[in-house]
Structure 1
Amino acid sequence: EFTNTMLKGNWDKAREMQLDLFDLFKILFVETNPGPVKWSADVMGIMNKRMRLPLTPPLEENQEKIKAVLRNLNLI
């Protein structure tokens, strides 16, 4: 939706969406990517969190932070 909004040239709406998603963008890089992204996708039911080394899930403390942001955005 965000990309489509930009491609349509609706810059004001895209900027609003970017600001709404800023906390998500920030928290997904709290640890080495793509671990937090894959873990979040599992929490959201998009994919399973099975990871092969060197990927690992985020630390437990960061999992709670990620969940808080996902809840805030009504993604879980």
Structure 2
Amino acid sequence: MLRTHVVKLARAAPSVQRSFSVAAIRASEGDTGGIRSGGIAAGLRKLKEKLAQQRKHLDELDQHIKDLESERSGEQ
């Protein structure tokens, strides 16, 4: 009886017998797996530059609104 259970378990679990190389990450040609030269700092730098541009644009819009309000109050 024990022998039949062992045989069934051995046949039923092909995923257990699979090697680890099946789950390996597939790399493209030239990929080394290392981080980029700039690392995380390069992404943060780009994000900060984009935020600075957006802040500048918002400041310009705010100034334009203030100018329009001052012109409108002068007309009334």
Q: Shorter-normalised TM-score: what interval?
A: under 0.3
> TM-score, with normalisation over the residues of structure 2?
0.24
* Larger RCO, structure (CA 8 Å, separation 6 or more): 1
> TM-score, with normalisation over the residues of structure 1?
0.24
